[in-house]
Amino acid sequence: MHNEHSDTHFQSRIDNGEHIEPKDYMPEGYRKHLIRQMSQHAHSEVIGMQPEGNWITRAPSLRAKQILLAKIQDEGGHGLYLYSAVETLGVSRAELIEQLQTGKAKYSSIFNYPALNWADIGAIGWLVDGAAIVNQVSLQRTSYGPYSRAMVRICKEESFHQRQGYEIMTTMMRGTKDQQAMAQDAMNRWWWPALMMFGPHDSDSPRSGDAVRWKIKRETNDELCQKFIDKTIPQAELIGLTIPDKNFKLDEKTGHYTLSPINWEEFHRVVAGHGPCNKQRLDHHIKHHQEGAWVREAAEAYKLKTAKKELVTA
Ligand code: FAQ
């Protein structure tokens, strides 16, 4: 008989494909791993609002503006579900935000690149949300219940995001020569950073061992990246975009595309804080977090007031 509070019992529950719920026994390493990954995921959603937010006032039509507004609000919502899911692991949101703002917690490297023009909004939706969704569809089956359920809802919204991005790219590719050149330029700038979203190769991914054993990750970084490549290249070709890699080819035997090596030096540089927009993204977050302090204080004051009233009437 396994003690229901033992690591062996926990691992057998994982191996049986059970969900682990907040009040269930879990090894400390599992809890910490989830706090790290889920909070970084939440931070990515929230910081990810910035590159697109920059274009709300410059959207080319009312329709485009409404769609972009809805998409960015969705990303904010994803961040909130995810912060709530992380809180079930016994950590406060204030602590998580502090880790982000002091650089202790990461967020996806992709959001340290600038959105220079409207074509970038297309490329972000198509490639960045496209990459995010490949990863998140797999995370729907992750072992921690609240994370898995958050992913189900998030994926429904992400697929709309991916389509709105592809629609922008398609419209531009049907447009003038200048518009086509803008779309191609955005593709050239976002393609490689989008591939880096999947993280380092499996052979260089220190977190993958535990993540796979605990079924936090259901597919590895390399498997997911390959899925994204195989799905996206035909989409690019369909609308006349060129893959910015002269070595890419379809391996007829495996049915998979092969590419030139990813520039991991660039990835590590951006993750270490030296990408084009790292400072801008964190400064913006800190500024608006400080400006919103009164909202948090008002909510606390209201909570105290209603708690006192309840005491008096009890
Ligand atoms: N950027 O050992 P691994 C979105 C770090 S949501 C920065 O392979 P792991 C929606 C990694 O944290 C996008 N850091 O790590 C949207 C680790 O460092 P640590 C976010 C990265 O965790 C769209 C170290 O490198 N999605 O885009 C990156 O097993 C548009 C070693 O790596 C998620 O967060 C990176 N790209 O695998 C919003 C999904 N890659 O923590 C707005 C959930 C790796 O030890 C607009 N996360 N690192 O200090 C995951 O699936 C995993 O955490 C991975 C990394 C796959 C990202």
**Confidence class of residue 312 from pLDDT cuts 50, 70 and 90?**
confident
Helical H runs in 88-129? Answer: 93-101, 118-123
Q: Would you mind telling me the total number of residues written for the chain in this entry?
A: 314
Q: How far is the CA of 135 from the centre of ligand 1 (A)?
A: 10
Over range 15-34, report the average pLDDT. 97
In one letter, which amino acid is 183? Answer: A
**Confidence class of residue 111 from pLDDT cuts 50, 70 and 90?**
very high
Secondary structure E strands in the chain: 249-251, 256-258
CB 25 within 8 A of CB 5: yes
Q: What pLDDT does residue 311 have?
A: 80
What whole-number distance in Å separates Cα of residue 64 and Cα of residue 19? Answer: 40
**Atom 55 of ligand 1, nearest CA residue:** 199
What whole-number distance in Å separates Cα of residue 160 and Cα of residue 129? Answer: 9
Q: Does 48 score more than 90 pLDDT?
A: yes
In one letter, which amino acid is 279? Answer: K
Q: Does 1 score more than 60 pLDDT?
A: no
Q: How far is the CA of 101 from the centre of ligand 1 (A)?
A: 17
**Confidence class of residue 309 from pLDDT cuts 50, 70 and 90?**
confident
Helices (H) and strands (E) in the chain, counts: 14, 2
pTM, two decimals, is 0.96
In one letter, which amino acid is 271? Answer: V
Q: Which residues contact 139 (CB under 8 A, 6 or more apart)?
A: 147, 148, 151, 217, 218
What whole-number distance in Å separates Cα of residue 65 and Cα of residue 121? Answer: 11
CA distances from 306 to 303, 310, 312 (A): 5, 6, 10
What whole-number distance in Å separates Cα of residue 290 and Cα of residue 177? Answer: 45
For 212-227, the pLDDT digits (tens) are: 999 999 999 999 999 9
What whole-number distance in Å separates Cα of residue 255 and Cα of residue 122? Answer: 27
- % of the chain at pLDDT higher than 90: 95
Q: How far is the CA of 40 from the centre of ligand 1 (A)?
A: 7
Pocket test for ligand 1, best of 112, 148, 205 (most atoms within 8 A of CB): 205
Would you state the structure tokens that stand for residue 304, as one six-digit string? 């105290």
Q: Which residues contact 101 (CB under 8 A, 6 or more apart)?
A: 282, 285, 286, 289
Mean of all residue pLDDT scores within the chain: 96
Over range 175-180, report the average pLDDT. 98
Q: Does 143 score more than 60 pLDDT?
A: yes
Which DSSP letter does residue 255 get? T
For 250-288, the pLDDT digits (tens) are: 999 999 999 999 999 999 999 999 999 999 999 999 999
Q: Measuring from each residue's beta carbon to the nearest atom of ligand 1, which residues come in under 6 Å?
A: 36-37, 40-41, 44-45, 48, 75, 106, 108-109, 124, 128-129, 132, 135, 196-200, 205-208, 211, 221, 271
Over range 120-146, report the average pLDDT. 98
Over range 172-185, report the average pLDDT. 98
Q: Does 2 score more than 70 pLDDT?
A: no
Nearest atom within ligand 1 for CA of residue 40: 34
CB atoms within 10 A of CB 267: 19
